[in-house]
Structure 1
Amino acid sequence: MGQASSAAACALGADHEHEEQEEDEGEGGAGGVGGRFSGLDLTAFAPDECLAAVFQKLEPADRRRCSLVSKRWRRVEGQARQRLSLQAWLEIGPALPALLERFQHVTKLTLKCDRKRGSIDDDALCVIGQRCQQLQKLKLKACKGLTDSGIDRFAQVCGPLQKFSCASCQFGPPGLNSLLQHCANLEDLTVKRLRGFVESSEFVRPGTCSIRRLCLKDLPNAQLLGPLIAGSKNLHTLMLSRVSGNWDRLFEAITVHMTSLIELHMEKVALTDQGLQAVARCTNLQVLYVVKPAECTNKGLSSIANGCPDLRKLHVDGWKNSRVGDEGLATVARKCKDLQELVIIGLNATMSSLSLLASNCLSLERLAICTSDTFGDSELSCIADKCLALKKLCIKGCPISDRGMEALVGGCPSLVKIKVKKCRAVTPASIASLLSNRVSLVVTLDTSAIPVAPEAQCAVQVRPVQDNNITQENAPAPSTRSPLARARFAMAVVACTFMRWSASNGS
């Protein structure tokens, strides 16, 4: 019993040091409310619901300290906790029944283990599934002791699980198939670095659930999930990052079934224009992230623009040797007129495509241009003159200067925030001039690589943010009370209010 208790305390990371009594009384404790209530624990008059509401406002470490104050605080804190994170070491297994008996209403559970230590086994995971009948979200990280058999046993006894995330575990496709078959409410699935995929040849199929969001990252043989992607009729978001295999052929085979896809993220995926042409068949696509597509050209981006006219967000990271430029961006400007956010990295955009973009995409609110050798003062002036709805602008590593920044003084009337990074020809003096004309504008300037005059630097960095209406003179002083003292004071005030109400009703 002593070993189980120590394991539970170790898993929760509880701090057993009590707050000092002098601090509690001197900083607004129950006895500090004053008058005839001196010496009484006024928190005893507060209902459990109020006590739980206060606990939910605290950080996890402060909640653990509050649970050590009294038996009542411990009971209420355990019943009110919905999120729980445990160090899933092998030693915690015997303590799990008593631990989960206290936290009966947990809906989100995180089990993470150190790679150098043994993790919980299949029996412990089965206990979690039996005890946590309200569990909706489960995250497993580096739980190397779990097998396909353990995932199958858990899936048969767990509650209404909606979100499942696993990373650096040993199980593979058989375990995922059991999960998809028995968890009918599962909607969100994240799979990262599963070693069970290395030598497996079993396909992952949809099962009885309806997956809406699927994330695959650093996964060997990720194409084994092709049937799941194609068979998920309600798939809303698909995220692929560093997954091996020929995705051109897979997309050609499955995109015809992905009619409900709205958001697609692809990072370092073996993809060419052939794959982008297949993606273009997802006519309802609204958000597209293409990061480091080494083999994609203007042809692929143009096919996306022609096939997906409802695009609202487009991120294209061309990496080093990008073959996407003005032609592809011009097609996007002509076809995707509802575009609200555009991020281009490593693409050499010129006046030709940017002018067309500013004229046609009248709803463009967020624009980021990074590492573009052709984006200079003329292009920035074009953006300032024509992008009337633009609210946020980010420029990084581009050959712009103070002359281009001057165009923003009277341009982009809706602009509220601008970031300028690694643009050596932009000085703090031009930023100070911009701020003097547009006081509500928030500007971030990276001046690490250029010499800055002291007076100009102060003008840029010390200016208060006008949106919050807070200056250094009228800013509120930080509180010096401890979290435990603040919690007690809040519950004491609530208790006094309830006592006054009771007295008035009785009279």
Structure 2
Amino acid sequence: MGQASSAAACAHGVDHEEEEEEGEEQEEEKGEGEGVRSLLFSGMDLTVFAPDECLAAVFQKLELSDRRQCSLVCKRWYRVEGQARQRLSLQACVEIGLALPALLERFQHITKLTLKCDRKRCSIDDDALCVVGRGCQQLRKLKLKACKGLTDQGIDRFAKLCGSSLRKFSCGSCQFGPHGLNSILQHCANLEDLTVKRLKGFKDSSEFILPNTSCSIRRLCLKDFPNGQLLVYPLIAQSKNLHTLMLSRISGNWDLLFESISVHMASLVELHIEKVMLTDRGLQAVACCTNLQVLYVVKPSECTNKGLSAIANGCPKLCKLHIDSWKNNQLGDEGLATVARNCKDLQELVIIGLNATMSSLSLLASNCSSLERLAICTSDTFGDLELSCIADKCLALKRLCIKGCPISDRGMEALVGGCPSLVKIKVKKCRAVTPASVEWLLTNRVSLVVALDTSPTTVAPEAQVRPVQESNIVRENAPVPLTRSPLARARFAMAVVACTFMRWSASNGS
């Protein structure tokens, strides 16, 4: 008994000591907080004690407009904000050419630069682009849009100046052609991302796009080439490390091209095909990419269930599948059922103009247990029965979009007890769905967000329909929250940083 009582007394003493230490720590923290507040309200500018690194870290947390206003406070903030800036977007009109040296001298550590010009105005010329090449030695990403004053010679000079650091190059609605693009590919050995849209220099050119022997491109996006299929063929074929390929509105038959390059695209993971001449033969060639996980097929010329089934059989790792059949009645249940049987890891499915029925949707809901996003648009066969099947079996579904389908309030009622993981549902142009069913649905599932638009012609902005709750009512005597200007917020943040820095310095010195 004596030993037990002594042990209990010791334990009680230890607990008492711990409580005293915690109380002392809380008092110290409270005192430090009061000290910071007193210094802030004393009128002293504590930002002078904060190092430049801390000041730059605070600037990076601000929005762009707030950051610009803060840079005009004093010379030090102006200098630090310029050195910490890594992204810059400029209106690339011809008048900015004279100001470029001063701008680039201020922003010496730019890694991402966007030069965008209005199509009705004259853009910068080759000399201005060379100034950019000399002033931005750390440039990793460059985007050119509607810079009609640039030629192949200017692109060639720029590529020689900063080709070693460039990782991403994007151009659209420019005048240069294959020669300038070849200069980028030859001198930028570390280029990983290339986007080319609407280059007018391709119209009257027959020069092929030939990448470097050590081509390291992982993402390639090509759009709006009138006669560019044969010109870009060597670029696609020699990109051995290609991860993402996006093709849109490029003339020519792509079946033969996919058959010839599918063997070299074993590393392809994401493929976007939009408005190109493609048939089942081309889809069968794409099916050889066994590592494919994301596939977008938008408005192909001639594709049937046979091509879609070939994709499902050859690419079992598919996670995202978007199909816009463009009123093609040859795509339907048969191809979708094959996808449901073989692509069991499917997480996102978007079908537009594809008439899916119970036979394929039931199989899809049963086999694809990881399906989180489903969008069904312009389907004449998707009604209340099909929606009830989705509600009963898709347990992991989080987002549901239904547009232009013959569903009604009866089908919406099935969502009250179904799809337990559902977060948001969007219903557009479904005339039989009324706001009353939406209100009743939200009454039973308060956390659900519903966007309803029953107009067949106009698209109304998304609105979250919710019953009025006590927490949403603003009371008359409620205190009005204080709002601070961007400058006040920045000063407050840097004052706290300065006080913390001074406290650390004092503790290290002691």
Q: TM-score, normalised to structure 1's length?
A: 0.86
The one-letter code matched in structure 1 to 2:167 is: Q
Asked whether the 8 Å contact 2:148–2:173 carries over to 1, the reply is yes
Does 1:198 find its partner at 2:203?
yes
User: Which stretch shifts more, 327-336 or 258-267?
Assistant: 327-336
| 1:463, distance to aligned residue in structure 2 (A) | 5.4
Tell me which of 205, 210, 215 is aligned to 1:209: 215
| 1:479, distance to aligned residue in structure 2 (A) | 5.2
| 1:64, distance to aligned residue in structure 2 (A) | 2.3
Distance in 2 separating the partners of 1:477 and 1:108:
41
Match of 2:343 in 1: 336
The one-letter code matched in structure 1 to 2:118 is: D
Match of 1:135 in 2: 139
Match of 2:169 in 1: 164
Identity %: 82
The one-letter code matched in structure 2 to 1:175 is: G
The one-letter code matched in structure 2 to 1:137 is: K
The one-letter code matched in structure 2 to 1:186 is: L
Match of 1:496 in 2: 499
For this pair of structures, how many residues does the alignment match?
465
Query: Aligned ranges for residues 385-464 of structure 1 at < 5 Å?
Result: 385-448=392-455, 460-462=465-467
Note closer, same or farther for the CA distance 1:183–1:139 as it changes in structure 2 (3 Å cut): same
Does 1:175 find its partner at 2:180?
yes
The one-letter code matched in structure 1 to 2:249 is: R
1:115-141 deviation digits (Å, cap 9, x = unpaired): 222222222212211221111100001
SS of the aligned residue for 2:196 comes to strand
1:51-104 deviation digits (Å, cap 9, x = unpaired): 111211222233222222211111101100000111112222233222211111
User: Which stretch shifts more, 160-169 or 176-185?
Assistant: 176-185
Asked whether the 8 Å contact 1:238–1:263 carries over to 2, the reply is yes
Distance in 1 separating the partners of 2:414 and 2:44:
67
Does 1:49 find its partner at 2:53?
yes
Asked whether the 8 Å contact 1:188–1:211 carries over to 2, the reply is yes
Distance in 1 separating the partners of 2:124 and 2:464:
56
Note closer, same or farther for the CA distance 1:245–1:34 as it changes in structure 2 (3 Å cut): same
Match of 1:106 in 2: 110
Does 1:480 find its partner at 2:483?
yes
Distance in 2 separating the partners of 1:319 and 1:172:
32
Distance in 2 separating the partners of 1:463 and 1:277:
54
1:445-499 deviation digits (Å, cap 9, x = unpaired): 224469xxxxxxx9934557xxxx9855699966532212221222223223333
SS of the aligned residue for 2:225 comes to coil
Distance in 1 separating the partners of 2:41 and 2:466:
50
Structure 1 unaligned segments of length 5 or more: list them: 1-31, 451-457
1:249-304 deviation digits (Å, cap 9, x = unpaired): 22122222111111111111121222212211212111111111242111221121
Match of 2:98 in 1: 94
Aligned alpha-carbon RMSD (Å): 2.5
Does 1:189 find its partner at 2:194?
yes
Note closer, same or farther for the CA distance 1:472–1:270 as it changes in structure 2 (3 Å cut): farther
1:349-406 deviation digits (Å, cap 9, x = unpaired): 1111111212222222211111111001111111122222222211111111111122
Distance in 2 separating the partners of 1:227 and 1:476:
67
Match of 2:152 in 1: 148
Distance in 1 separating the partners of 2:45 and 2:253:
68
Does 1:248 find its partner at 2:289?
no
Match of 1:219 in 2: 225
Asked whether the 8 Å contact 1:138–1:163 carries over to 2, the reply is yes
| 1:33, distance to aligned residue in structure 2 (A) | 6.0
Asked whether the 8 Å contact 1:33–1:492 carries over to 2, the reply is no
Query: Aligned ranges for residues 71-82 of structure 1 at < 5 Å?
Result: 71-82=75-86
The one-letter code matched in structure 2 to 1:299 is: K
SS of the aligned residue for 1:460 comes to coil
Tell me which of 295, 298, 304 is aligned to 2:305: 298
SS of the aligned residue for 2:98 comes to helix
Query: Aligned ranges for residues 230-245 of structure 1 at < 5 Å?
Result: 230-245=237-252
Match of 2:4 in 1: none
SS of the aligned residue for 1:128 comes to helix
Asked whether the 8 Å contact 1:418–1:443 carries over to 2, the reply is yes
Asked whether the 8 Å contact 1:294–1:322 carries over to 2, the reply is no
Q: TM-score, normalised to structure 2's length?
A: 0.85
The one-letter code matched in structure 2 to 1:213 is: R
Distance in 2 separating the partners of 1:470 and 1:330:
47
| 1:47, distance to aligned residue in structure 2 (A) | 0.9
Match of 2:320 in 1: 313
Does 1:379 find its partner at 2:379?
no
Note closer, same or farther for the CA distance 1:255–1:476 as it changes in structure 2 (3 Å cut): farther
Distance in 2 separating the partners of 1:302 and 1:131:
53
1:233-261 deviation digits (Å, cap 9, x = unpaired): 11000111222222122212222211111
Note closer, same or farther for the CA distance 1:478–1:127 as it changes in structure 2 (3 Å cut): farther
Computing the radius of gyration from Cα coordinates, the structure with the larger value is: 2
| 1:206, distance to aligned residue in structure 2 (A) | 2.3
Distance in 2 separating the partners of 1:212 and 1:294:
27
| 1:341, distance to aligned residue in structure 2 (A) | 1.0
Asked whether the 8 Å contact 1:432–1:459 carries over to 2, the reply is no
SS of the aligned residue for 1:293 comes to coil
Match of 2:18 in 1: none
Asked whether the 8 Å contact 2:442–2:467 carries over to 1, the reply is no
Does 1:258 find its partner at 2:255?
no
Structure 2 unaligned segments of length 5 or more: list them: 1-35, 458-462
Does 1:70 find its partner at 2:74?
yes
